[in-house]
Amino acid sequence: MNVFGLIGYPLTHSFSKKYFTGKFLQEGITDTVYELFPLPEIELLPKLIASQPNLRGLNVTIPHKQIVLPYLTRIDPAAEKIGAVNVIKIAADGTTTGYNSDYFGFKETLTDWFIRIHGTNGRATLEQTKALILGTGGASKAVKTALDDLQIESLFVSRTPASGQLAYDSLDEKVLQEYRLLINTTPLGTSPAIETFPPIPYQFLTPANYLYDLVYNPEETTFMKKGKERNAQVLNGLPMLYSQAEKSWEIWNS
């Protein structure tokens, strides 16, 4: 029996287990299971792999996406550039290779979104759109790399900005007119804390703005609702979640 799974802590709810269990049933895959492996400390990863001889791959979630890197045998160049891993492929001899499917999922769904909105002009419109990345955690690094590869100019926004980053309280009407794509990579708005949202000046949003929320639960976050009130275009993280999950399966079976 081939085993795949998810590491992170805590694992209070898991899209991945539900998604892959459903996928296996739908596609008649009977020799494979997907399990949850709550891992409070990343130092426990080698012990987990050694104790599961049929373990062939793992997804990685908070808080291990960045700190897992030193525990891997190899790291895919794209994931190394990002500095975060959310997919681990495990060979029969126990060697491990880290990948980042968030990168692929975000890049694919962002492009598809603009094509749905603008049709044949979608890619050209996207290339001409500057972006603000709200948050500086592990997911933000994948977003930044994808934007760089799409040749989209972007800036990080943080409560404690480093050099070259913006503070939330520095955002004004001029900035939101110049940087029309806003991507929430923070957990703000995630259930059950659905009343939380990134502290941006929503009153300055217009129909020319695009709000992409990586949060997928709830399907419509307060960030998105506030954008819709200003007639901005909005998208939640569910399409990216499906896309990165399928990329994980492709990596494990390649």
| Summary count for the chain: helices (H), strands (E) | 9, 12
Contact status, residue 191 vs residue 224, Cβ threshold 8 Å: no
Q: Which two tokens mark 254?
A: 């390649």
Residue whose C-alpha is closest to residue 144's, from 190, 224, 83, 203? 83
Other CB atoms within 10 A of residue 13 CB: 10
The b/e string for 213-242 (b: 16+ C-beta within 10 A; e otherwise) is bbbbbeeebbbbbbbeeeebbbbbbbbbbe
226 catalytically annotated: no
Residue in 17, 65, 89, 144 annotated catalytic: 65
- Alpha helices by DSSP H, listed for the chain, are 15-26, 45-51, 77-82, 101-118, 122-127, 138-149, 173-178, 222-229, 238-252
**How far is Cα 206 from Cα 227, in angstroms, rounded to an integer?**
8
Other CB atoms within 10 A of residue 243 CB: 19
Only one residue has tokens 């492009």, namely 111
Centroid of chain to Cα 212 = 11
Phi-psi category of residue 52: left, alpha or beta, with phi > 0 → left and psi -120 to 50 → alpha: beta
Q: Which residues are catalytic?
A: 65
